[in-house]
Amino acid sequence: MAQSFRRADGARPLISGHRGHCTAAPENTLAALRATVEAGGTAAEIDAVLSADGEIVILHDLLVDRTTDGTGAAADMTLSALKRLDAGSWFGPGFAGERIPTLAETLDFAHAHDFMIEVEIKEKRNLPTMAAALARALADPHDRSRVMLLSFDHAWLGWLKDRLPDVATAGIVPVRHPDPLAVAQSARLDQLSIDLDVFDPDQARILREVGLSLRCHAYNPPRIAAMDRAGLDPRAQLAAYLREGLIDTLSGDDVEWVRHLVDDALGSAAG
């Protein structure tokens, strides 16, 4: 396996699609993962909830209403019922019939494409059952080596670490903390996933020096353009962070945009 969540000196960061390449294909589908690879991505952040029969499915919302032709809570539907839903037509007619994937199907894709998977846990109703399902789904060490588990719920990630100590975990950080190292250590996190708005290079240097990996989420091009108009110059900031080696994973909705930014900052992969 060539990819890693920890960027080695001189290596390129992971280029991650947020919910896959979700500007080109319906989010959290295998089509979005294929689009990520085609756009030059090497990882994807996906979202996970449980079906009524305890299967891990890739879905951002607790309800299926927004991204399928169904209605209701995923937790009240069996896997077979969820698999009958159309998860692509809402995005465009060319994606009609796209299905909600399982975590197992996503892992198969990752192995086939030397691809890394960041699984954000969106489950709310039954976290102990989610932990047991993750233990089953990630029983193979080869699967665990490709997966980073993300959550806003750092307390649950710490609880999970007691049960799955060799599965990497990342706490999502949408706000700036005075001591992010303490935040990471309190839940024994392997990574902090920090929004671009609150990514602090001084803090990042400290975090990487002690062995934490860092993921920076760079939003989508329209939001970056709005930041430009406000005088924030986010692309220059990101380029500087990349050249200094402060970012292990750079994610965004538009994978092609992220790849071009990395290429501009570090040179193309071929070069």
Residue type, 234: P
Among residues 212, 140, 137, which one has the least CA distance to residue 173?
212
18 noted as active-site residue: yes
CB distance 1 to 146 below 8 Å: yes
60 noted as active-site residue: yes
Distance CA 221, CA 215 (A): 18
Of residues 60, 113, 177, 260, which has the active-site annotation? 60
Q: What number of other Cβ atoms are within 10 A of residue 95's Cβ?
A: 17
Among residues 239, 187, 186, 194, which one has the least CA distance to residue 213?
194
> Which string of DSSP letters, residue by residue, matches 215-247?
EEE---HHHHHHHHHTT--HHHHHHHHHHHT--
Cα dihedral 198, 204, 207, 212 sign: positive
CB distance 17 to 43 below 8 Å: yes
Contacts with 160 (C-beta within 8 Å, 6 or more apart), sequence order? 131, 134, 149, 167, 169
CB distance 75 to 91 below 8 Å: no
Distance CA 30, CA 177 (A): 35
Cα dihedral 246, 209, 45, 1 sign: positive
Residues annotated as part of the active site: 18, 60
